Amino acid sequence: MAKPFITIIGLGATGSAVGLALRKAPGEFEVVGHDKSQAAETEARKLNAVQRTEWNLHRAVEGSSMVILALPLPAVEETLAHIADDLAPQALVLILNGLLQPVVESAARTLPNHARVVAAHLITAINAPATPTPDSFVRADCCIAAAASADPVALELAGDFAERLGATAHFMDPVEHDGVAAMVEQMPQLAGAALLAISTAAPGWREARRVAGARFAGATDIGGSAAQVGRGLLANRDNVRRQLQAMQTELARWQQLLEADAPTDGSAHPLEVALGELLDARSVWEQQAAAGDWDKEPSPMSRSESNGMLRQLFLGNLGRRKPPTGN
């Protein structure tokens, strides 16, 4: 009998890190990779993120017990359409993306009869290594969502997947998740794009570009191609619009702080006070994020116990577990 296998479609940094994490501990399964880029497949094999690669997408998926898509948003629906007829009825399709609602909707359009489809957002820790490692997602958070019609076992298996990677699973409503993602993921991209626009269009850019260093590079790195970032912003347009309006109000407040007169009693300038408060808040967040300790009671939507890291998937026992609560 052939060994069960997991297929990872997309062997960039995320896909390779997932493969390494899945292979960190022994398992009764094989990890197969597929990527349009032959160079990405070669690099994934060198890293030992996959045991083998399959250049033909259909053969990579056919018979797979779990299909993981680690692709940018524009490629998700197209890829799902290509593999729709190759998926086994009991296969778990796990789509990794920074936005969950558009992914859930794409799956509903493309795979209307497949109940085991789950979207997940793996949030890389701020102190995670820059290159993929087996520990890239240790103590990270994994937000998980699915359509209302999804098989509860699919959510259970997605939780096991997160635990296998060393992450903490959080079962969320996709709309709620994307509202938060607009603030913490997409507004930094939009702010970076705006800074890049005003800088490169400024009359003094020819000289200013010589002075622009690491701080400018970090602030203007929008984290993807124009198509990837643009499609994400458009797919989450309403949430991004609200955050953009809040940002415009906040920028007006900072302009007032900048223009305020210095206090006559020798106390700190209001601008310095505001900056100090924000730096204190950021320091607390950094410490909590680095430690994975948020100093509060666990969310009722969090998984509270480990259930065996994919054992249901590979013991042929898929329907016997109690589904997770809170989704």
- In this prediction, residue 3 carries a pLDDT of 84
pLDDT at 317 > cutoff 60: no
Give me the CATH number covering residue 249: 1.10.3660.10
What average pLDDT does the segment 177-193 reach? 96
64 and 150 inside one domain: yes
CA-based max dimension of the chain: 83
Q: In the β-sheet with 5-9, what is the strand arrangement from edge to edge?
A: 52-53, 30-34, 5-9, 66-70, 92-96, 117-123, 141-145, 168-171
Give the number of domains in the chain: 3
What does the DSSP 8-state code read for residue 302?
A: B
pTM confidence score: 0.84
Task: Name which of 25-29, 102-106, 118-122, 310-314 the model is least confident about.
Answer: 310-314
Tell me which of 25 and 81 has the higher pLDDT.
81
Residues in Cβ contact with 297 at an 8 Å cutoff, skipping those fewer than 6 apart:
none
Task: Name residue, tokens 């060393």.
Answer: 166
- Predicted confidence band of residue 126 (pLDDT cuts 50, 70, 90): confident
Q: Same domain, yes or no, for 74 and 145? A: yes
Residues 92 and 158 in one domain: yes
DSSP assignment string, 152-163? HHHHHHHHHHHH
What six digits make up the tokens of 167? 């992450």
Task: Give dist(CA 29, CA 195) in Å, integer.
Answer: 47
SS3 93: strand
What is the structure's pLDDT at 324?
55
Strands (E) located in the chain: 5-9, 30-34, 52-53, 66-70, 92-96, 117-123, 141-145, 168-171
> For position 311, what pLDDT does the model report?
46
Helix, strand, coil percentages in the chain from 3-state DSSP, rounded to 5: 50, 10, 40
SS3 label, residue 113 = coil
Residues spanned by the domain of 67: 5-172+301-314
Would you say residue 322 lies in a domain? no
Q: Do 195 and 165 lie in a common domain?
A: no
* CATH number for the domain that contains residue 35: 3.40.50.720
